[in-house]
Amino acid sequence: MTITSRSNPAVIAAASLHEKKYRLQSRRFFFEGIKLLREAAASGVELVTVFSDGRCLPLCRELLPQTEILEVSDSVLCKLSTEKSPQGVICVAKYIDKIHNINKIYNMDDFSGGNRRFLLLSSLRDPGNLGTVIRTAAAFGIDELILSGDCADLYNPRTVRAAMGTLFRQRISYVPSLPDIVLLLKRAGYRVCAAVLDRDSERLDRMTVTDKTVFVIGNEGHGIDPDVVRAAGEKVYIPMREGVESLNAAAAAAVFLWHGRI
């Protein structure tokens, strides 16, 4: 039976996930489209409910024989979707606790032994930028993204969309104090460099980058928290043509990670 009522309880519950407070309460999030559905299924994401129009229903049932799949009308899809043109499939999934951590507390053992690659994000508040950075980090082999607690919500629909499926696999942690993480990394033998456009910053193209180099990318408008910069002790910048103020956070992350590829 096709669900045509926008007041259906399952529809209302799913639509509430547009807001962060309901995502936190239920520890569920949503995403749209067949591509992300395929990525989620391949990555073992625990899906709760899938809403589909008639076109996509057979494929959804083929991909997810054990998942509840509800056929819905176009009107209901429009209520559920955050896009102007709904893609025909909307999925509700549980938070990915096995690879995403909120308020994680680290110690020296987390950084000692082996050369894991990290990227730190300080107050990155734009969800689209965060999603793009996640996708970029996955492309360049970052083992773990470590975020200050005031970064954008990992499960914001814009973050999920921009990450293009890499969110389902990339290890990501939010931490209460990013300066403390910087100090732990340095004690473990990492070189931590804050992306800051200052006179005493080192040019990226003249810098020797190893797998023990960690970059810190900052807020789109205000840069990196000064306490994080002080803890890092080293600053780096991307040389650009005069008159260009800066790159946005996602573009800067791509340049830093490309330069530091191993």
Q: How confident is the model at residue 221 (pLDDT cuts 50, 70, 90)?
A: confident
Domain boundaries, the chain: 9-94, 100-259
- Class at the top of the CATH hierarchy for domain 9-94: alpha beta
Alpha helix (H) residue ranges in 16-168: 20-26, 34-43, 57-63, 74-80, 127-139, 157-163
What mean pLDDT do residues 234-249 have? 86
- Judge whether residue 243 has pLDDT over 80: no
Q: Is 90 helix (H, G, I), strand (E, B) or coil?
A: strand
CATH 3.40.1280.10 is right for the domain spanning 100-259 = yes
Q: Give the whole-angstrom CA distance, residue 21 versus residue 86.
A: 23
pTM attached to this predicted model: 0.93
> In the prediction, which pLDDT does 145 show?
98
- Both ends of the chain: CA-CA distance in Å? 53
- pLDDT tens digits for range 17-71: 999 999 999 999 999 999 999 999 999 999 999 999 999 999 999 999 889 899 9
> In the prediction, which pLDDT does 143 show?
96
More confident call, 113 vs 192: 192
Whether residue 47 contacts residue 93, with contact meaning beta carbons closer than 8 Å, is answered with yes
Q: Give the whole-angstrom CA distance, residue 123 versus residue 141.
A: 22
- pLDDT tens digits for range 116-136: 999 999 999 999 999 999 999
Describe the strand order of the beta sheet including 68-71 as a list of residue ranges. Answer: 28-32, 89-94, 47-52, 68-71
What are the backbone angles phi and psi of residue 167, rounded to the nearest 5°? Answer: -60, -30
Q: Is 131 helix (H, G, I), strand (E, B) or coil?
A: helix
Q: How confident is the model at residue 1 (pLDDT cuts 50, 70, 90)?
A: confident
What mean pLDDT do residues 228-248 have? 89
Q: Give the whole-angstrom CA distance, residue 37 versus residue 165.
A: 9
Minimum mean pLDDT among 32-41, 78-87, 135-144: which range? 78-87
What are the backbone angles phi and psi of residue 84, rounded to the nearest 5°? Answer: -70, -35
Pairing of strands 47-52, 89-94: antiparallel
- Judge whether residue 233 has pLDDT over 70: yes
> In the prediction, which pLDDT does 262 show?
54
Tokens found for residue 87: 């893609």
In the chain, DSSP assigns E strands to 28-32, 47-52, 68-71, 89-94, 100-101, 118-121, 144-148, 172-175, 191-195, 202-203, 213-217, 234-237
